[in-house]
Amino acid sequence: MATITINGTEFQVDAKSTIIEAARANGIHIPHFCWHPKLSVSGNCRMCLVEVEQMPKLLIACATQVADGMVVKTKSERVIQAQKAVMEFLLINHPLDCPICDEAGECKLQEYAYQYSVGYSRFEEDKVHKPKRVPLGPNVMLDVERCIMCSRCIRFSEEIAKQPVLTFTQRGTHVVLTTFPGSELDNPYSMNVIELCPVGALTSRDFRFKARVWEMAATESVCNGCARGCNMNIWTRNNEILRLTPRQNEEVNSSWMCDYGRLETFKHVNASERLSGPSVRVDRELRSIGWEETVSELASELRGFRKNEIAGIGSAYATNEDNFVFQRFIKEVLGSKHLDLLPHVIEQVEDDLLIKADRTPNSLGARNVGIEPSSGGLSASGIRNAINDGSIRALYVLEDDIAADPEWHSVLQKLRLLVVHSAVQNATTALAHVVLPASTYAEKHGTITNFQGRVQRLQPAVATSETDRRMDGLAASRWDKFSSKNDRWGRPVKFDARPSWRILVSVAAALGTRMKYNTAEDVFGEIANVVPVYRGMSFARIGSKGVLSKSSPVPVKT
């Protein structure tokens, strides 16, 4: 440890840290553009200049290591004048794009212009013009005029994504960020440069011009693209998800998130394929009917089968709460021993950074809460074979498109009853006799367990017809952030979907079994009591960062 003084206050700091790190650790902000705690030091923006006693010149805080007895000033007159000079220099050729720039409201240059700039420009010449709307790759757009040459994107591509394709060309005011000839920014983590960019030079081609940051509400949640469970924020406007961005959690995903998770895991939430309501097959055609009628019809159908003729397929896409109630429903209410889970593994996509081969968010959690055959019960392959030979006549599927597998598609057509929980129309709902619309991960409370055994929380960012602040424990302030779409008469239009656990409670009640759950927290409370690895947990304890289950090893930090 070293003793240093910053702005007249003494601090004990790590002797190996730099000034900017020591100040940050003690709640003192030193303005910066090029420095980032996860990247190597570049030291080219000069915004973090500070005054150190006995030093003739100002020093950059990002590259100067602390020393015992060092006295640092971050707000002296010399420092303030230097900050104004740097800001004036950066703004000389920066375009006045704020009214149309996607970064407005999140732009560090915009914020610093108010905090550290002189507030006017002495520059009266024509600004240097550079290329605009340059596609760097399939997901990232570059506006070179806005670039302040901080090099964060270059260092990220080289050091984190391991794809060194970005570089600076030319000199002086004509410097241009570009890709090497014949290459493009197309690595699986390319969109992280958008958050790294302190200005609006790098933007998302998917999100461009869709909304301002102050028009959206951000909800903390967890990515469902793979077993990693990256922490993220869901950004919504008018009850529609517009983008996903990473949320820092050093134990899971650090500050990063893959492009697949950003772009492919939310489109189905507001897709045209969303189920409009429950439906029952009549005369070879699915017909929409009300919830009560559907539940009553389903209960009546299920009573017509013997216990050993019914099987269930749980889901690694569903929450711990959904799977827990589902296994209780299959084993206790229906009395079947035949219950299992289908794997969804793509071996070639796993890497050493974030992406896992298991493309589901909750396979470990589903197993932990009991999605497995009882003694003498059939596994997934055994269930498929039993359907084929006619011994299994009814199958209940929880939030998994099992008919996408050709082997399953062929045997499902032999069932007398196929019940499916799903958010969207898919190959399995096309074969189903009863379809029950389930809420997506962005529309319900619940928990999932990642490959490390870390239990993490989901929270509703999109309102459905079932979302109720009293029933789902939403605070009034949180509920007020929901802004549902309206029809031309001003009436709210919401998806007619319910959490799977709530649907199962309704069906169980129609079959004569009462499950005393009113909220997802009630379900998790029972999980914490009866499942040893989750014992002692609660929604409050899980919080925003998650908690390791008791059987899990301590993970290596990302």
pLDDT of residue 347: 81
Class of domain 99-108+122-270 (CATH, top level): alpha beta
pLDDT of residue 465: 72
Q: What is the dihedral of CA 176, 182, 186, 192, to 10 degrees?
A: -20
pLDDT of residue 551: 67
CATH number, span 279-548: 3.40.50.740
Beta bridge partners of 6: 9, 72
pLDDT of residue 327: 98
Amino acid identity of residue 184, one-letter, is E
- CA 540 from centroid of its chain's CA atoms: 20
pLDDT of residue 120: 85
Give the separation between CA 547 and CA 192, rounded to whole angstroms.
Answer: 26
Residue by residue, pLDDT tens for the chain (558 residues) are: 999 999 999 999 999 999 999 999 999 999 999 999 999 999 999 999 999 999 999 999 999 999 999 999 999 999 999 999 999 999 999 999 999 999 999 999 999 999 999 988 888 889 999 999 999 999 999 999 999 999 999 999 999 999 999 999 999 989 999 999 999 999 999 999 999 999 999 999 999 999 999 999 999 999 999 999 999 999 999 889 999 999 999 999 999 999 999 999 999 998 888 998 999 999 889 999 999 999 999 999 999 999 999 999 999 999 999 999 999 999 999 999 999 999 999 888 899 999 999 999 999 999 999 999 999 999 999 999 999 999 999 999 999 999 999 999 999 999 999 999 999 999 999 999 999 999 999 999 999 999 999 999 999 999 887 654 444 444 434 444 444 444 333 434 457 899 999 999 999 999 999 999 999 999 999 999 999 999 999 999 999 999 999 866 544 443
pLDDT of residue 513: 96
Claim: this prediction has a pTM higher than 0.75: yes
pLDDT of residue 529: 96
Query: Where do the structural domains in the chain lie, given as residue ranges?
Result: 2-91, 99-108+122-270, 279-548
Give the separation between CA 505 and CA 495, rounded to whole angstroms.
Answer: 20
Buried-exposed string 258-280: b where 16+ CB fall within 10 A, e elsewhere = bbbbbbebbeebbeeebbebbbb
Other CB atoms within 10 Å distance of the CB of residue 220: 17
CATH architecture designation of domain 2-91:
Roll (3.10)
pLDDT of residue 483: 41
